[in-house]
């Protein structure tokens, strides 16, 4: 493939490059506007926003306890849960907006611990440009109120997070790792070279990742990201495809140490047992994929559990790639409500002619071979005490929001109880992303941030209830939701 440009390290050149990326990103946006129709706005903020909310007669999901407290009233003031009482017992205050839950279940808004806000989820052979704001709306529509994005290659990653926090942009609360660190020619360089449209590839490939091959390069890359205001550092230690370069242990350790020195935790993309051990020893804070390339030997399960760090298996993304060319992909309810029929149907087109299927044929074959061991690895790690967190790895085939719901079903099928599955996307996820044992969100308690999801049915009896969404409340604001199907004649 092509040679791998090294980034110049002088400050002036860095600033020059930054200015150039801004111009190029603007150019990309203009092309996007010219090439893609605007996507429907499937969520809106009410105007005016209510200052307080009273949810009447809800079953409140106690995520820590794994039970539903029947018939409760929940009062929200501003962005906080102000009071929780027995059904009908909380007095309405002037100006309050009342919602009769009628026995529906209230749970914390969901957290995607491996989302991507700047990628596109259409099949790679459709070649649609990403639409960040549409992605943000799609997460919210499906009840995802917080996203940890472990690799956002756009220069605005940290600014976007802050705009959402200031209420200037509608989206889930964001945590970002900015641009990831990988070996020269390591993942995702090869993937982008075939998956990105040719006319933007020259810009995307060098911009998507810091390609580092020495401790000095790793430290320089971490410094750039830390200066940009990221929340985490992400390293890739996995070969995709199998002949791609892999980060060496010395460079990996230097990256983790440099992140530590800036008060940042490191997230590791891994593939094999070797990668999981190397990153664990280097001191990363979490694995943001499962070991998906092989069955983990029994003795290694204990060794991995001893690191005491969580894993975000992202089973859905491996299934999605393994399914390429299989046909018969059935869209879920939330996918039909958030994505166009054309794009959903295109997943079942014959992709044999696509560059991705051709260039990655052996890799995709490996995924299909290893598919049976993914759930088993997760189940055994979970049984050994590894905290499992829910993340979708939003990208082609994994839709922003609906992808997390698919992941929850896969985690449950991998042996997590329904309560554990919900914790993986709420309380446990909140503890990890915030770094706090008693987080400000991810549970329903007086004083916590009012990121809430009201669903018909009880997800502790049937996880599918999570797709049956009546209300999504983010920072105390109940969103108006308009499914894509409702805007066309034949939604179904």
Q: How far is the CB of 429 from Zn ion (least distance, A)?
A: 16
Return the number of the residue (119 or 264) whose C-beta is nearest Zn ion: 119
Q: Which residues contact 235 (CB under 8 A, 6 or more apart)?
A: 180, 181, 182, 247, 252, 255, 256, 266, 267, 268, 269, 279, 284
Which residue number places its CB atom closest to Zn ion?
A: 393
Location of structure tokens 């009012």:
450
Give the HSE-up count for residue 118: Cα atoms under 13 Å, Cβ half-sphere: 23
User: Are the beta carbons of 77 and 176 closer than 8 angstroms?
Assistant: no
Biggest CA–CA distance in the chain, Å, is: 68
Q: How far is the CB of 136 from Zn ion (least distance, A)?
A: 17
Q: How far is the CB of 446 from Zn ion (least distance, A)?
A: 35
d(CA 233, CA 221): 10
**Contact pattern for Zn ion over residues 160 through 189, marking x by CB under 5 A:** ------------------------------
Identify the CA nearest to 108 among candidates 482, 479, 449, 480.
449
Q: How far is the CB of 85 from Zn ion (least distance, A)?
A: 42
Return the number of the residue (42 or 212) whose C-beta is nearest Zn ion: 212
Q: How far is the CB of 277 from Zn ion (least distance, A)?
A: 21
Q: Is 393 in the site for Zn ion (CB under 5 A)?
A: yes
Q: Is 238 in the site for Zn ion (CB under 5 A)?
A: no
d(CA 416, CA 425): 12
Neighbours of 383 (CB within 10 A): 11
Return the number of the residue (81 or 374) whose C-beta is nearest Zn ion: 374
Return the number of the residue (217 or 393) whose C-beta is nearest Zn ion: 393
Choices 92-100, 241-249, 392-400, 404-412; region in contact with Zn ion by CB under 5 A: 392-400
Return the number of the residue (339 or 393) whose C-beta is nearest Zn ion: 393
User: Are the beta carbons of 273 and 287 closer than 8 angstroms?
Assistant: no
Return the bridge partners of 56, or none: 100
Under rule CB under 5 A, how many of the chain's residues touch Zn ion?
1
Q: Is 407 in the site for Zn ion (CB under 5 A)?
A: no
Choices 68-76, 270-278, 333-341, 387-395; region in contact with Zn ion by CB under 5 A: 387-395
Structure-token pair, residue 471: 């209300």
Distance of CA 445 to the CA centre of its chain: 25
Choices 82-90, 160-168, 249-257, 386-394; region in contact with Zn ion by CB under 5 A: 386-394
Identify the CA nearest to 464 among candidates 374, 328, 333, 315.
333
Binding residues (CB under 5 A) for Zn ion: these are 393
């Amino acid at each position: 493939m092509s040679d791998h440009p090294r980034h110049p390290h002088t400050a002036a050149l860095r600033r020059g490059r930054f200015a150039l990326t801004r111009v190029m990103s603007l150019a990309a946006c203009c092309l996007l506007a010219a090439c893609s129709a605007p996507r429907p706005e499937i969520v809106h903020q009410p105007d005016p926003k209510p200052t307080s909310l009273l949810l009447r007669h809800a079953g409140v999901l106690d995520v820590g306890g794994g039970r539903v407290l029947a018939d409760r009233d929940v009062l929200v003031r501003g962005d906080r849960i102000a009071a929780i009482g027995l059904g009908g017992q909380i007095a309405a205050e002037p100006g309050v907006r009342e919602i009769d839950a009628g026995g529906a279940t209230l749970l914390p808004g969901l957290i995607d611990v491996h989302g991507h806000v700047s990628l596109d989820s259409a099949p790679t052979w459709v070649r649609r440009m990403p639409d960040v704001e549409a992605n943000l709306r799609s997460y919210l529509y499906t009840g995802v109120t917080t996203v940890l994005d472990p690799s956002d290659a756009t220069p605005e990653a940290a600014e976007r997070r802050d705009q959402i926090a200031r209420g200037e942009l509608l989206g889930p609360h964001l945590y970002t790792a900015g641009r990831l660190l990988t070996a020269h020619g390591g993942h995702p360089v090869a993937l982008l070279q075939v998956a990105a449209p040719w006319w933007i590839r020259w810009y995307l490939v060098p911009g998507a990742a810091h390609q580092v091959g020495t401790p000095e390069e790793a430290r320089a890359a971490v410094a750039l990201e830390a200066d940009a205001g990221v929340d985490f550092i992400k390293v890739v230690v996995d070969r995709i495809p199998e002949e791609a370069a892999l980060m060496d242990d010395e460079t990996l350790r230097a990256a983790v140490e440099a992140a530590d020195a800036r008060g940042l935790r490191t997230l590791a993309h891994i593939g094999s047992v070797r990668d999981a051990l190397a990153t664990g020893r280097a001191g990363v804070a979490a694995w943001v994929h499962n070991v998906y390339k092989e069955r983990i030997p029994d003795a290694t399960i204990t060794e991995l559990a001893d690191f005491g760090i969580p894993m975000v298996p992202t089973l859905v993304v491996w299934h999605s790639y393994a399914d390429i060319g299989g046909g018969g992909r059935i869209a879920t309810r939330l996918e039909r409500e958030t994505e166009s029929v054309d794009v959903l149907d295109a997943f079942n087109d014959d992709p044999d002619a696509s560059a991705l299927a051709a260039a990655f044929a052996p890799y995709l074959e490996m995924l299909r071979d290893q598919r049976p061991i993914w759930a088993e690895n997760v189940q055994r790690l979970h049984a050994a005490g590894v905290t499992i967190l829910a993340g979708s790895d939003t990208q082609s085939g994994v839709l922003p929001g609906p992808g997390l719901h698919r992941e929850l079903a896969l985690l449950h099928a991998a042996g997590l109880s329904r309560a554990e599955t919900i914790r993986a996307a709420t309380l446990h996820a909140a503890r990890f992303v915030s770094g706090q044992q008693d987080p400000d969100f991810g549970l329903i308690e007086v004083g916590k941030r009012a990121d809430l999801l009201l669903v018909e049915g009880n997800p502790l009896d049937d996880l599918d209830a999570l797709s049956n969404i009546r209300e999504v409340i983010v920072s105390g604001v109940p969103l108006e939701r308009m499914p894509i199907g409702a805007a066309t004649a034949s939604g179904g």
